[in-house]
Amino acid sequence: MHHFEGSELKTPNSELAMRILAIDIGAGTQDILLFDSKKKIENCISLVLPTPSKFYAAKLKTIESHVYIRGDTIGGGSLARAILSHIQKGYRVVMEESTAYSIRNNLDEVKSMGIEVGAKPEGNHFEELEIHEINLPLLEHFLLNFGEELQPNVIAIAVQDHGVSPSGVSDRAFRFENMERMLRKDNRPETFHFLEDTIPDYYLRMKSAVAAVKKTSSIPVLVMDTCFSAILGCLEEVVGPSLVVNVGNGHTIAALLLERKVEALYEHHTHELTPQKLEGDLRLLIRGELSGRKVYEENGHGAFTLKPHLGEIPVIVTGPNRDLFKETSLQFIYAAPGGNTMMTGPMGLVKAAQFWMINKFEG
């Protein structure tokens, strides 16, 4: 049986040195950790950078012409708002099909927003904007300036992916139904990941992230949804029954952990939540009394409880909007995996990669 000692993965006969490049891409920031089992976690390289959607949006604001956008499927957010603003100025925006999925998973919805989808129009009236969510050569070049080489054993990436829902099905409902199905199959948070060749076809953003890595690397890639990487990243703070909450820039996710397994799950849009609303929902969730339909109708994603917990429970909070909890009556602590709250997602990715590698060796 393999086991961990500190941050190192051990095998019965030898010590397995492990380097994991973990990239967690949220709505506001992309958080990067180059985990090295030979180093104390505090000495591993970590970066908190603007999320790609934000800096492409800023770049678009400097362009004063029609625009052709090509490249990968990335998180839309800020970019979508910048595109609509660009169209309102009277400019045309044409997007390659792969990039158009960054805005909506339904291309008819993309077109209804005034965005054209297809090849670059003829002529030279269009400035090109190439977008990528994962740029390994750029990161590699940056680290070389500090005498560091990437050379990871695994690349682990977390993005938020609603998935392409069937016609007539809400992408919010589709996203939550898929998460619930995964949980009912195996509710250990370490299992909530996909290897590069097992990603369902409807997760276009996850598949695009893998394809971006594979342009320049043959290193194994593991992907997760950002909500699960945050939950898993908080696991080292969990000593008994706990409620883990990630109050992100876009989404708020909560998981009831009993015996280190997820027994309830809740997801909502952060901007829809007041401290009082969040506290009320979480108290009902823990008791198994929160209606997933009600959460959905209030513009959230959903909620369900497999095994309720009665009585008070410690709350572990992470995410850039975690101060929302200061105005609640819940007893909470801030999670800081590896001593850094911004590394919650990357630390979750590291745990998922370690879990995969252990099972790979045992298999």
Give the amino acid at 142: F
Q: How many CB atoms lie within 10 A of CB 105?
A: 23
- Whole-Å CA distances, 23 to 46, 155, 156, 165, 272: 10, 8, 6, 26, 27
Q: How many CB atoms lie within 10 A of CB 347?
A: 29
- Whole-Å CA distances, 181 to 2, 21, 150, 202: 29, 28, 35, 15
Query: How far, in whole angstroms, is CA 39 from its chain's centroid?
Result: 25
DSSP 227-273: HHHHHHHTGGG-SSSEEEEEE-SSEEEEEEEETTEEEEEEEEEGGG-
pLDDT digits (tens, 9 = 90+) for 191-219: 999 999 999 999 999 999 999 999 999 99
Confidence (pTM)? 0.89
| Strand intervals (E) in 80-172 | 93-95, 116-117, 126-131, 154-159
For the chain, give every residue range classified as CATH 3.30.420: 235-334
CATH of 235-334 among 3.90.350, 3.30.420, 1.10.240, 3.40.50:
3.30.420
pLDDT confidence band for 363 (50 / 70 / 90)? low
Helix (H, G, I), strand (E, B) or coil at 123: coil
- What local confidence, expressed as pLDDT, does residue 4 receive? 27
Closest listed residue to residue 162, CA positions, set 151, 149, 150, 176: 176
Q: Is the Cβ–Cβ distance between 266 and 282 less than 8 Å?
A: yes
Q: Is the Cβ–Cβ distance between 209 and 157 less than 8 Å?
A: yes
pLDDT digits (tens, 9 = 90+) for 256-311: 999 999 999 999 999 999 999 999 999 999 999 999 999 999 999 999 999 999 98
User: 181 exposed, middle or buried (CB, 10 Å; 0-12, 13-18, 19+)?
Assistant: exposed
Closest listed residue to residue 160, CA positions, set 172, 170, 145: 172
